[in-house]
Structure 1
């Protein structure tokens, strides 16, 4: 790519909540249900509001989705095409807009659809779109996204470290920081006088990860039924 082309290439910018959801749905459905992709407005409404693989739960209507699509088209993250039967459909341009490959797109999509997550959660959930062999592979991809200024750690390094995308507008980013600070301040008051052993903590975390995996499996089945 020459210098002029690189300068003309759209760069990622903060997106509204609805635009982030719609972009996430476009990438997700292209990966998980390619036969129904590109998506119509109706398909985007259904995908944005589905109960599984989404946080927070939203209730977007046609106007909300069309406004989000206008925002995505304006920044170069989505395109409008003519579908069969004269139905207008939409496809994402996330790979070019974010400058990511398939594993990077899968992780960004999960962060867009569910918000901040740990490496374990990212690996489990993004693997439905791109197989991530283990946590080391997941961490390598996350670090690449951090270098691209697309992802950032929200909590200190260590077990349970949380990561987020960097497409939040400033006001939402401030709210996220305040929420994390509140959680951190409340954490010491909930601790017991006697610290549990490392073995007990590891066992508890392992149990929680198992529960999360089962929940994600159930959500995947619900997603398949809703698609």
Structure 2
């Protein structure tokens, strides 16, 4: 994974909302569109503001992205390199900074890009970057991240348990706890059979995957339209 000794590894610290989005974009694009990686500032802006695979939706500009990159470089999570044509580009150092492998990076990236999620959501969404065969495998990856103090459960064990990364600022963490408590109080779950529960989870996972695919295609079409309009 890397040749650094444990004492040389940067220690993950809470990141601002913009820095978390930019780090997530860098890792995601390295895995899903390697031909276009490392990314320029323009590419990071586009990836940060895209409509698919993002929650919440954001509208970062160049100043926002540059500030976020400075934050990531300072803590050792990103690096600046010289691209072709003397264009400055950026790559992540997430594997070293977080001390994770490919499945761990995929799960962390989804949590950075979309916020707290259930195990089923994590499995469905992270599998576009690293294939997670089933919920058992996903749970093993999440458990390892919990051991590394990178992820934590935000709700009690059981169906619908929600997990989040631990890179939120203290203020955001308090907000998340309050929001989840309010949701849990407002939506008591009716008892269901194990078979019905598994069937429901599978249907939700399939729907999530279909919606993500459609959203990605829409984003690709919008980017293509922008390219055609700019070339006129």
Q: Does the 8 Å CA contact 2:20/2:112 hold for their aligned counterparts?
A: yes
Q: State the 1:207 CA deviation.
A: 3.4
Instruction: Tell me the equivalent position of 2:205.
Output: 209
Return closer, same or farther for 1:140/1:223 CA change in 2, 3 Å cut-off: farther
Following superposition of structure 1 onto structure 2, how do residues 126-165 of structure 1 map, counting pairs within 5 Å? 126-165=126-165
Return closer, same or farther for 1:80/1:197 CA change in 2, 3 Å cut-off: closer
* 3-state SS of paired residue (2:187): helix
Q: 2-side partners of 1:219 and 1:107: how far apart?
A: 20
CA displacement, residues 97-122 of structure 1 (integer Å, 9 cap, x when unaligned): 00000110000000000001111111
Instruction: Tell me the equivalent position of 1:75.
Output: 75
CA displacement, residues 143-175 of structure 1 (integer Å, 9 cap, x when unaligned): 000000000011111111111100000000000
Q: 1-side partners of 2:126 and 2:64: how far apart?
A: 26
Q: Which runs of 5+ in 2 are unaligned?
A: 225-232
Q: State the 1:224 CA deviation.
A: 4.9
Q: Does the 8 Å CA contact 1:83/1:89 hold for their aligned counterparts?
A: yes
* 3-state SS of paired residue (1:129): coil
Return closer, same or farther for 1:119/1:224 CA change in 2, 3 Å cut-off: farther
List, as ranges, runs of 4+ consecutive aligned residues in structure 1 with deviation greater than 6 Å.
none
Instruction: Tell me the equivalent position of 1:28.
Output: 28
Return closer, same or farther for 1:133/1:200 CA change in 2, 3 Å cut-off: closer
Q: State the 1:69 CA deviation.
A: 0.2
Return closer, same or farther for 1:82/1:154 CA change in 2, 3 Å cut-off: same
* 3-state SS of paired residue (1:14): coil
Task: Count how many residue pairs are aligned between Structure 1 and Structure 2.
Answer: 219
Q: State the 1:187 CA deviation.
A: 1.9
Q: Does the alignment pair 1:52 with 2:52? A: yes
Return closer, same or farther for 1:7/1:164 CA change in 2, 3 Å cut-off: same
Q: State the 1:186 CA deviation.
A: 1.3
What's the TM-score once normalised by structure 2's chain length? 0.88
Q: Does the 8 Å CA contact 1:53/1:223 hold for their aligned counterparts?
A: no
Following superposition of structure 1 onto structure 2, how do residues 1-227 of structure 1 map, counting pairs within 5 Å? 5-188=5-188, 195=190, 197-198=192-193, 203-225=199-221, 226=223
Q: Does the 8 Å CA contact 2:124/2:205 hold for their aligned counterparts?
A: no
Instruction: Tell me the equivalent position of 2:229.
Output: none
Q: 2-side partners of 1:171 and 1:48: how far apart?
A: 22
Return closer, same or farther for 1:22/1:12 CA change in 2, 3 Å cut-off: same
Q: 1-side partners of 2:192 and 2:161: how far apart?
A: 20
CA displacement, residues 4-24 of structure 1 (integer Å, 9 cap, x when unaligned): 943232110000000000000
Q: Does the 8 Å CA contact 2:117/2:162 hold for their aligned counterparts?
A: yes
Q: Which runs of 5+ in 1 are unaligned?
A: none
Q: Does the 8 Å CA contact 1:153/1:161 hold for their aligned counterparts?
A: yes
Q: Does the 8 Å CA contact 2:152/2:166 hold for their aligned counterparts?
A: yes
